[in-house]
Amino acid sequence: MISMVAGIRLILRLYYFLSRPFYKCFYSLIPLKSLAYLTGGIYGRDIRAPGLHLVASVILGTYESVNTGEARRIFRQRISGLPLKKRRRCEKYVWQAGSTLSWGQRAFENTANRCGDYAYRAISNLKGPLSVLELGSLNGGSLRCLFHRGVRISHFCGVDISKMATREARSRFEWAEFHCGDFIDYCNSTNDKFDVLLFKQTLIFIDQSYLEELLSIIGRKEIAKRIVIKERQLFMSDEESVCVDWGLASVNYSHNYEPLFKKAGYTFEDDNRHPHPVKNTLSFEAVMVRQD
């Protein structure tokens, strides 16, 4: 059985090697929205219909790793010349793909290992009960990790662009507050104040001008006393965002976070930056406190 599976994989690899010019042309010509959902599908597996997802990935060429990277590269290349609003819309399609939920599901199920992450440890060191806002909450995995660490929470609010992930979070934590929508829209509309704002592998998926506007609103409205952040960053980075390929999704950005948060009125309370296993990458982990 194992040898048969290995043989099928070998045949598929040979097929993809010979058909790479076709797939490059295919990814370059299909509608951008379709390509966005396709690259979103690369990011995870569809837990609702794994067999169908497997068949689709074989047909569309994303079963083989070389083609997945090619699809992401072509997607980034095609949206790079678009006006900013159109580019953002295409990027959102990636996160609205059903497979994004499956990535969140795997993270949710891996709570025992993830709850030791710096962000959750930093929050658990604060005196509770705490009100927590998470921008990029997916299906509530961070809330589960905080519970696992014994953090006392008085109010939790999560905001995410994925409708499916938000529905899943609401079904799991009926007492908490979860919104599906844009971060800037939420921050502009809310009058709530939080003890902690959590960013965890979220800011790498938004562009520089959006991030600057978001942090400006957060700082001006004093939405959070502290910001806990865990993101990726290139070692050599200036104040502008740089589009990089970390293999996380179709589009990833590296930002120089320190001046951005300082401009929004936040300074370091704790700094845990250290090299990330990915080459030339820094794991930017810190607690930012609001300046009085």
Highest average pLDDT, of 3-7, 11-15, 30-34, comes from 30-34
> Between these two residues, 223 and 237, which has the higher pLDDT value?
223
Taking residues 275-283, report their average pLDDT. 93
Q: Is 252 left (phi over 0), alpha (psi -120 to 50) or beta?
A: beta
Site of tokens 């929470």: 153
DSSP per-residue codes, 38-101: HHHHHHS--TT-HHHHHHHHHHHTTTSHHHHHHHHHHHHHHHHTS-HHHHHHHHHHHHTSHHHH
Q: Which CATH architecture has domain 110-290?
A: 3-Layer(aba) Sandwich (3.40)
Please give the Cα distance from 116 to 213 (Å, whole number).
Answer: 31
What percentage of the chain reaches a pLDDT higher than 90?
A: 56
Please give the Cα distance from 102 to 132 (Å, whole number).
Answer: 24
Could you tell me the residue ranges of all domains in the chain?
A: 2-106, 110-290
pLDDT band (50, 70, 90) for residue 182: very high
- Distances in whole angstroms, Cα of residue 31 to Cα of each of 7, 80, 93, 184, 209: 34, 15, 12, 28, 26
> Quick one: pLDDT at residue 131?
98
Asked if residue 176 has pLDDT above 80, the reply is yes
- Distances in whole angstroms, Cα of residue 235 to Cα of each of 29, 222, 257, 272: 35, 30, 12, 14
Asked if residue 161 has pLDDT above 80, the reply is yes
CA 266 to chain centre: 23
pLDDT band (50, 70, 90) for residue 256: very high
Asked if residue 162 has pLDDT above 80, the reply is yes
Asked if residue 14 has pLDDT above 60, the reply is yes
- Number of Cβ atoms within 10 Å of the Cβ of 196: 23
What one-character DSSP code corresponds to residue 148? H
> Between these two residues, 7 and 241, which has the higher pLDDT value?
241
pTM attached to this predicted model: 0.88
Please give the Cα distance from 291 to 288 (Å, whole number).
Answer: 9
Please give the Cα distance from 144 to 169 (Å, whole number).
Answer: 10
Please give the Cα distance from 36 to 226 (Å, whole number).
Answer: 34
